[in-house]
Chains A and B, each alone.
Chain A
Amino acid sequence: MNDIQIIIGGAAGDGTKATGHLIGKILNRGGYKVFIHEDYSSLIRGGHNFSVIRGTKNGENCIRESADFLLALNEDSVDRHIGKGGVLIYNSDQVKKRDGIGVPAETIAKEEGAVIMKSNALLGALCKIIGVSWELIGDVFEGFPHSEKNLKVVRRVYDSQEEKGKMKKTKESLSLITGNEAIALGALEAGMENYFAYPMTPSTSILHFLSKIKEAYKINVFQPENEIGVINAALGCAFTGKRTMVGTSGGGFALMTEGISLAAMSETPIVVVESQRAGPSSGTPTYNGQADLNFALNPGHGDFLNLVFAPGDAEEAFYFSNLAMNMSWKYQIPAILLVDKDISESTFSFDKNTLKGVKEWKEKKGRNSKGYHRYRITENGVSPLVYPGGKAVVKSNSYESDEYGISTEDPQMIKKMQEKRMRKERDIKEDLKETIKIYGEGDKVLFCWGSTKGAAIAAGREAGYKVVQILVFNPFPEEKVREAVKGCKEVVVVEANSSGQAAEILKRYILVGRKILKYDGRPFAKEELIEELKK
């Protein structure tokens, strides 16, 4: 089997997410590249949550409409997903008799100690059917809470089923991490020492993850009173020479905009993670959207440079979060890492060789002596950095200032300083090597960005499209984009918003034929996009 998709559904608090991850781990050890999509509501108990676990040999980071297995904890889960084919494995303590495999999951879990283990009972049936060895199951349960009791539950169901396939264990498997974990790790590899954030889905798991590992990595994690506090504290911290990242979603990003403008004016390095949900306003907190692209490109008042990177999977999230931190410090400008819910909270296979492609760049330091000028006018616009606490007086300013950092209203100085800051763009462009990626070939082109990458590559391959992914939106790689569509007959853009924000940007440089837009908060399934492309 080259491609397997499993859906596991239940109420919030049923443990479907944890079981979904165990299934992902099993597929991962079985040599599949894994993609897990999480669908959940903004509530703590009840509702309907499900995880879609897809394993493919060619690494398709998207879901399919059809499923091979449906693991249903309750009636609701059967009703919602039953039409998608595959084998139904259900909790017979809650679901009335159906065609499929009924498992008295709650009864077994209760007998072994705790009803919460019921979702792992369904895993037992699945594992036996697809031929997962008991040894491998034991391996993935290592470190899982109450693993012995859980394994007893799994074993009882596992033994009651018949094997219908065989899954071999690979020698070396990839790592499984979420987009948000990748973002955190990428920044850590670039020397991040501080992460400041106010909770906001879908960025919150960066805060959780870093809070958990802060001691081990020797970093500070700080949760201030609001997002305005976050950005202003972060800039104060960066002013002392400590690499700092902040994370939020659209609403919090809106509150940060004055601070981003301050970062630009005071030339204080900062990385801002903007993980989009479906908006506007509070929108749908736990569902996906890509409607903040224009906002990220114009994140504050005044004329200034800022980087906007839009990674499309965990490996890219790692790479670009690292690059954002490094470039922000090299050029002393704000860097925005624009992701979306389906990058942040999805789980991806991650090749640890990605680590080899990154490092920490050292910023340009000045002499820590009396004559130091914070805003020294230089040929490339970058003034050497010095941090307070030594002989040099370091004066950072939100007002326009002279080279020393004293507020100014002098017309010549205003002009000179504005030009100095904007001059950085030339070197920035030279530093950016990979701004777009091209997959496949042909005379029909499909543009994608962010989380639409996964479905675009999978669907493009089958529908005969060359896929072009935009990774850097600012500065926009216009030459490369023009080059990529040379001689092509058709240009289609796929994205998760209702106005086609990336498509409208592309129209400034190339002819765009058609937009495929989705704005219901849900990801594109492979078949769905193929159908759209064939229209």
Chain B
Amino acid sequence: MDLNTKNTWCPGCGNFAIEKAVKKVIEKIGEENTVITAGIGCHGKIIDYLNVSSFYGLHGRPVITATGIKIGNPDLNVIAFTGDGDSLNEGVSHLVHAVKRNSDITVILHENRNFALTVKQFTATSPRGFISNSSPSGNIEDPINPLALVYASGGTFIARGFSGNVYQLQDLIMQGVKHKGFSFIEVLQPCVAWFDTYDDYREKTYNLEGVPKDPLRKINEWNYENGGKIPLGVFHKEEKESFEEKMSRGDKKINTKEFLKNKA
């Protein structure tokens, strides 16, 4: 599945763990029936590193592109890679609506909590006070909690992993891909260049024991600021008919000639 391309992620980047985990998953589910898509940002470079059919789309749009791919060919496994800047800033409407319609796609959110490829600006998940090139005296906005957003929009599979734990990540992604309907996996992916949170995450993360009965309480345990513990694992899972299943295709009954005859 490897491509002979030059990897340009920074040494130690949290994206390597995502790549590793995803490769394992795709190997298991089959490369031929898998299509990946991505937006623009460091996360998107994964497209150039995997020898799998792909649509390398626009900034903020991989989630809706993925739905389009799934409508076009429901037999494909469709995985959308996106970043916090990509799908919580630029393309947040697409994320909310893909969740709402329970589109049968898997979204992997590379959560590095800053715009990294454009050399450090604050995003929707940067903490308050975050010093960046567009917030030199500290971010004055509060962060959004993407899991809460997805839950409020009706998410049927919500999980959080961490680049520091590839095996768990692989398991979460596999569960997500197998989930019928929309699956959302946020991956805490420290940005070694601009926002190195490895130590912080190692200290604060812990694994959920099973799927919690009260997902919202666990989702809100960490507020993307500095305090609190950070739960990892599956927060919510439910069975619901997917959007593409409901999109009935019908049986061709009429043709244009007949149609025009009725209009005479």
Contact = CB atoms under 8 A, between A and B. Distances in A.
Contact of B259 (A185, A229, A406): A185
B94 A396 contact: no
A433 interface: no
Contacts of A176: 263-264
Contacts, number: 173
Contact of A232 (B31, B32, B47, B61): B61
Contact of B97 (A219, A229, A396): A229
A234 B52 CA distance: 21
A239 B55 contact: yes
Interface string B29-70: 001110101001000010110011111111001001111110
B64 A217 contact: no
A357 to B, nearest CB: 13
B53 A237 contact: no
A219 B254 CA distance: 12
A266 interface: yes
B65 A235 contact: yes
Contacts of A266: 55-56
Interface in A89-146: none
B246 to A, nearest CB: 11
A204 interface: no
Contact of B71 (A28, A228, A233): A233
B227 interface: no
Contact of A352 (B3, B252, B257): B257
B261 interface: yes
A350 interface: yes
A216 B72 contact: no
B54 A215 contact: no
A394 interface: yes
B250 A218 contact: yes
B90 to A, nearest CB: 10
B94 A225 contact: yes
Contact of A398 (B52, B57, B69): B57
Contacts of B239: none
Nearest to B72: A240
Interface in B87-120: 93-94, 96-97
B259 A232 contact: no
B5 interface: yes
A195 to B, nearest CB: 11
A174 B264 CA distance: 5
A389 interface: yes
A110 B173 CA distance: 65
B178 to A, nearest CB: 19
A407 interface: yes
The interface centre, meaning the residue of B53, B68, B248 with most chain A CB atoms within 10 A of its CB, is: B68
A135 to B, nearest CB: 16
Contact of A229 (B55, B72, B94): B94
A352 B37 contact: no
Contacts of B247: 220, 222
A395 B72 contact: no
Contacts of A233: 64-65, 67-68, 71
Contacts of B31: 393
Interface in A199-239: 213-220, 222, 224-226, 228-229, 232-239
Interface in A367-403: 387-399
A241 interface: yes
A194 interface: yes
B250 A236 contact: no
A398 B56 contact: yes
Contacts of B263: 175-177, 350
A20 to B, nearest CB: 15
A195 B35 CA distance: 22
A394 B35 CA distance: 9
Given A258-B58, A397-B54, 7 more contacts: A233-B67, A236-B55, A236-B67, A237-B72, A240-B76, A405-B54, A406-B48
Interface of B: 3, 5, 31-33, 35, 37, 40, 45, 47-48, 51-58, 61, 64-69, 71-73, 75-76, 93-94, 96-97, 247-254, 256-257, 259-261, 263-264
The 8 closest A-B pairs by CB, nearest first: A236-B68, A215-B250, A240-B72, A233-B68, A388-B53, A237-B72, A236-B65, A175-B263
23 contacts: A177-B263, A188-B256, A216-B253, A219-B249, A222-B247, A225-B64, A225-B93, A229-B97, A232-B68, A234-B68, A235-B55, A236-B57, A236-B66, A237-B68, A240-B72, A240-B76, A266-B56, A388-B69, A389-B33, A389-B53, A395-B56, A406-B3, A406-B5
